[in-house]
């Protein structure tokens, strides 16, 4: 079973990833601004006939910078999706740890039923949400107890 130290490590990992995502966003935005300024400066240079060769070069640099910005934003988007996925897993991990910890604090006579309920909820938590009736929980618990007493023949 995991410990609170592992929660702290997971929280630090999440914060590092969040920091990287924030930095990535601001770098992308900075690149967009630099590219837009270069693009506009190049267009102005071309229309005012001041150093038209320089205007072409600056305009091309602005367009390239905008492509780089688009790549940064694409990577930022991928990073955010991964961060959200990790955060969902972190929440499930913490919920599982808390449920097990609370179950261990129950009186001995209530633990078997709650263990069965906890296991069934953990097994089905990634499935579409449906209500488990008390009869279904009881049947599941009886099946587990029966399989525990009798070896499974394959």
DSSP code of residue 125: T
3-state SS string for 15-54: HHHHHHHHHHHHHHHHHHHHHHHHHHHHHHHHHCCCCHHH
Q: Determine the Cα–Cα distance for residues 88 and 6; give it in Å rounded to an integer.
A: 16
- Tokens encoding 105: 């604090």
Q: Which residue in 151, 138, 80 sits closest to 112, CA to CA?
A: 138
* Chain centroid to CA 27: 21
Tens of pLDDT, residues 47-85: 887 667 888 888 888 889 889 888 888 888 888 888 888
- Tokens encoding 104: 């261990």
Task: Look at the block and give the residue holding tokens 């955010």.
Answer: 80
Tens of pLDDT, residues 75-86: 888 888 888 887
- Please tell me which of 16-20, 48-52, 66-70, 138-142 the model is most confident about, judged by mean pLDDT: 66-70
pTM: 0.55
């Amino acid at each position: 079973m995991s410990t609170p130290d592992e929660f702290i490590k997971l929280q630090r990992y999440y914060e590092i990833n969040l920091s990287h995502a924030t930095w990535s966003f601001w770098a992308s935005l900075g690149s967009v601004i630099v590219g837009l300024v270069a693009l506009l400066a190049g267009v102005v240079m071309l229309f005012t006939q001041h150093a038209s060769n320089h205007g072409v070069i600056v305009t091309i640099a602005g367009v390239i910078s905008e492509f780089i910005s688009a790549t940064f934003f694409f990577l930022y988007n991928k990073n955010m999706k991964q961060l959200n996925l990790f955060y969902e897993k972190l929440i499930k991990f913490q919920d599982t740890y808390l449920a097990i910890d609370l179950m261990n604090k129950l009186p001995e006579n209530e633990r078997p039923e709650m263990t069965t309920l906890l296991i069934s909820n953990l097994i089905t938590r990634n499935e579409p949400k449906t209500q488990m009736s008390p009869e279904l929980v009881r049947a599941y618990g009886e099946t587990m107890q029966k399989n525990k007493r009798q070896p499974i023949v394959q």
